[in-house]
Amino acid sequence: MATVPKKPDTNSGEQGAPKPSKAPQSQDNENRRYEVVERGQIHTLSYRCYFRDVQTNTIVSPFHDIPLVNDQYTSAAKNGENVYNMVVEVPRWTNAKMEINKQMKLNPLVQDVKNGKPRFVNNVFPYHGYLWNYGALPQTWEDPNHIDPETQTGGDNDPLDVCEIGTTLHATGSIVPVKVLGVLGLIDEGETDWKLLAIDVRDKLAAEIHDLDDIEKKLPGLLDATRRWFKYYKVPTGKPPNKFAMDEKYGDREFAKRVIGETRKYWEKLAAGETKVEEKVCSIANTTLNNRGTIKKGDADKIVEENEKHHAEAAKLDSSVHQLFYVCDEEDRSNKEKKF
Ligand SMILES: [Mg+2]
């Protein structure tokens, strides 16, 4: 196993190279019900992206308050299948590891931190940043105390991850209505980390894609590229390739729905206080659930206001964000068999 960094180019990220992210656009949000409230400066440790319910003018947690099921699109679908709200963390082709922060009250999106600096994922050939709009399903939680029978490991203590495979780019902070198509059982550094595959129900391809076979038909190569991306994305940082449950095969739509159902139950127990987790590890502060974590609207506003004011200009990016890495894995090279 070796990684071969390519000589960095001279692009600063502002000279023709792809921009790592753009400002959140609340018009992407379902029903325009939620708008983003930004604080600090993007691509620095000060950045926070909170959410406000525009109907009640109240700050909400994207982990606990935004509903898992999108009622409007679920009833419009008329096929009995749930349409879920997805919170977009990382837009396709970008590298900044934006994520729902579990520890902070009201769970703003922040950039993950590595070695005291904002974290960017490496570009493993032939990809740049993430292959999909990446995010999470609200009101789900992968319980670290639960050993999954398929993966034989505990949950990663995060909301359930989603790869949205539609053709549109969604900004950080978008709430996108998605239907679920399948799931990949990633075991990331010894933790269960299911990766749902889903598509925005408004996408031009959504009417033609219902399951894994349709993905392979309409988006040939995406399933294999997705598995490869998750296998190698941490190799440039010196970590071994990731492993997968179920012999690296995808679970189908029904399997994915079961994973959603289970992680929903774990979240319910977390929110109800049945599963004890320290507040500093996983905050259950919220403004809508009427449980022991619920706080008042004014107190929620104060939490947001305590942060640095929002800077309109993003921080300048280091050219290393666009550096390219090749992963040489003999097993991967000789394994031509498709596994979906
Ligand atoms: Mg996860």
67: preceding bond cis by omega (within 30 degrees): no
Q: How many angstroms separate the CA atoms of 24 and 87, rounded? A: 12
How far apart, in whole angstroms, are the C-alpha atoms of residue 340 and residue 338?
A: 6
How high is the pLDDT of residue 155? Answer: 87
Distance from the CA of 90 to the center of ligand 1, in angstroms? Answer: 13
How many domains does the chain contain in total?
1
**Cα 16 to middle of ligand 1, angstroms:** 32
User: pLDDT, tens digit, for every residue of 127-150?
Assistant: 999 999 999 999 999 998 889 888
pLDDT for residue 328 = 86
SS3 label, residue 121: coil
State which residues form the domain around 221: 2-334
Q: How far is CA 31 from the centre of its chain?
A: 21
CA of 265 to the centre of ligand 1 (A): 16
Cβ proximity of 235 and 124 under 8 Å: yes
Q: What is the CATH number of the domain that holds 277?
A: 3.90.80.10
Distance in Å, CA 266 to ligand 1 centroid = 14
Q: Kindly report, residue by residue over 145-184, the tens digit of the pLDDT.
A: 889 888 888 888 899 999 999 999 999 999 999 999 999 9
Mean pLDDT across 47-53: 97
Q: CA-based Rg of the chain, rounded to a whole angstrom?
A: 19
* Token pair of 74 as six digits: 């679920």
> pLDDT at position 277, please?
86
CB 215 within 8 A of CB 184: no
Confirm whether 169 is domain-assigned.
yes
Output the CA 78–ligand 1 centroid distance in Å: 30
Residue 340 lies in a domain: no
Question: What is the DSSP track for 155-193?
Answer: B-SSPPEEEE-SSS---TT-EEEEEEEEEEEEEETTEEE
Measured on CA atoms in the order 84, 85, 88, 92, is the torsion positive or negative?
positive
The pLDDT tens digits of the residues spanning 219-243 come to 999 999 999 999 999 999 999 999 9
Residue 20, helix vs strand vs coil: coil
Cα of 156 vs centre of ligand 1, distance in Å, is 6
* Residue 152 within any structural domain of the chain: yes
Tell me phi and psi for residue 195, to 5 degrees: -120, 105
Q: How confident is the model at residue 281 (pLDDT cuts 50, 70, 90)?
A: confident
In angstroms, what is the span from residue 117 Cα to ligand 1's centroid? 21
Does residue 322 lie in a domain region? yes
Whether residue 196 is contained in a domain is answered as yes
CA 81 to ligand 1 centroid distance, Å: 24
Q: Using pLDDT thresholds of 50, 70 and 90, give the confidence band for residue 10.
A: very low
pLDDT of 334 reads 65
For 18-27, 81-90, 235-244, 323-332, which range has the lowest pLDDT when averaged over its residues?
18-27
Whether pLDDT at 17 is above 60? no
